[in-house]
Amino acid sequence: MMSKIILVTDASSGLGAATAQALAEGGHVAYAGMGAASGRRPIAAQPDRAAGRQGAQPRPIALDIADQRSVSAAVTGITAEAGRIDCVVHTMGPVPRGPVESFTPYQLAQIYDANVLSTQRVNRAVLPQMRERQDGLLVWVVSRGDPADEAPYLALHSESVTVIDHLAASYAKELAGFGVEATVVVAGLTVPETGRRLQLVRPDDLGTAQAYEDRYPALVDRVDAHLADQAVTAARLARTAHAVAAVVDSPKGTRPPRVTAGAP
């Protein structure tokens, strides 16, 4: 297997960090995007260790996916250092939780930017070189999106996953003639990253949110309990990271359009 040059767009912690680590330990040169919001300072790239050996580390790189200049600078820097980018791995942002009405238009724009527009910025920066080489891979890692009618107050999350599914499918069709592939990896979890508290996007319109709480008492608490049950564990992170690595390692032409982590 040839080592690939891979950019993981948000690898400051959680699922993105685990994915970048798995790819590095699999013998690839994995660049771990570190956004300004992560609070972690990018460090100089470490000397490569033996490919495929445990202990290999990804290479942190400054990357704010909300800023086109940062995206362009990161892609230019990786290309100058490594000569190319073979694969991009996109990860999802925090999960929005609450009644749809209680999210302001500005919040909707931020949610859409974090999950969709940010991937478009990166794709447009890397695809010209992939099309020129007639080779490349785009991977979207999405947290599980339950149908909105089965998951109260998680409709915006489900819609984000649906949009990404359509976007990835369109890219797969349109890029096929250029030898570039696209795959969606569905993580076996809903919340891609947790700390002591669930990292969720909560509505800004507290008055409207309270009106729904008055009508449906304690529903939001039950939703949070459901999300806590789906929170990140080391085993879930590992399953998803290995699923991404398996897609990357698969021979060209054999990668499925959609993979569920942990599924046979």
Question: Where does residue 143 rank: exposed (0-12), middle (13-18), buried (19+ CB within 10 A)?
Answer: buried
Chunked in runs of 10, what are the mean pLDDT values of the chain (264 residues)? 90 86 95 68 38 71 95 97 97 88 96 93 98 97 66 88 93 97 85 60 95 95 82 78 94 92 64
- Strand ranges (E), the chain: 5-8, 29-34, 59-62, 87-91, 95-96, 136-142, 180-186, 200-201, 258-260
pTM, full prediction: 0.87
CB neighbourhood size of 263 (10 A)? 9
How far, in Å, are 32, 48, 185 from residue 164 at the CA level? Answer: 21, 34, 11
d(CA 67, CA 34): 13
- What pLDDT, on the 0 to 100 scale, is given for residue 44? 35
d(CA 161, CA 92): 9
